[in-house]
Copies of this chain bind each other. A is one copy, B any other.
Amino acid sequence: MSTGVRRRMGVEERRQQLIGVALELFSRRSPDEVSIDEIASAAGISRPLVYHYFPGKLSLYEAALKRAAEDLAGRFAEPAEGPLGARLLRVMARFFDFVDEHGPGFSALMRGGPAAGSSTADALIDSVRQAAYEQIITHLGTPEPPARLELVVRSWISLAETTALIWLDGRRIPREELQAQLVHDFAALMAVSAAYDEETGALLRRVLKEEPGEGPFGDLIARLVTFAS
């Protein structure tokens, strides 16, 4: 406060502050290593007061996870304008921003960390995956995708998660490269699936027709062809 006076917070305001403080700590170190004492200290309140708002560390962790999940799902939103490859590339950049900001917490969660066995955490992870899936299906313009296209999209989402986890483990490959590679992977997996499914094939042809030659899909195809010779 600019007045230097410590204002008394309302219940919901205090809860939101604690969630923010906890999310910050859970993002920077493995959540297992973050204590309630630390959260209390970072929030400038006493340990018992933390328990007044959250019955235990798990409930605070789940609340922080909920905020992170909403944040991530929000980053998938992308205007339906311009070539698909470029749209997906922008979403990948925001996804890696998120992974970068929440590195240790993201790793711990996805590797079955502190919330393992928490049905709330599992449901939140599923809701983010579902949000990603629905965004992609909307951009593809296929509200009722065939089973093989659904498989491509859902399995590619898991590929993106794994790629991000491997990146976090040592950051040996520049993230910009991985963002572009995942866009290429998406087109490549669609091309493979198109062999088994006419609808996916027709969709891929339509998408590729609208891609500029220098866009992320255009240069993939040019490259793949070199392996055919």
A77 at the interface (CB under 8 A from B): no
Copies in the complex: 2
A62 interface residue per 8 A CB criterion: no
Closest chain B residue to A118 by CB distance? B116
A162-182 interface with B by 8 A CB criterion: 162-163, 166, 172-173, 177-178, 181
**Nearest CB of B to A45, in Å:** 29
Which residues of chain B are within 8 angstroms of A154 by Cβ–Cβ distance? 162, 166
Assess A122 versus B117: contact at CB under 8 Å? Given A147-B172, A154-B162, A191-B223.
no
Which of chain B's residues have a CB closer than 8 A to the CB of A195? 181, 184, 219-220, 223
Known: A148-B173, A184-B195, A188-B191. 13 other contacts (CB 8 A): A112-B112, A112-B117, A117-B117, A150-B166, A151-B163, A155-B163, A155-B166, A159-B159, A181-B195, A185-B188, A194-B227, A224-B228, A225-B228
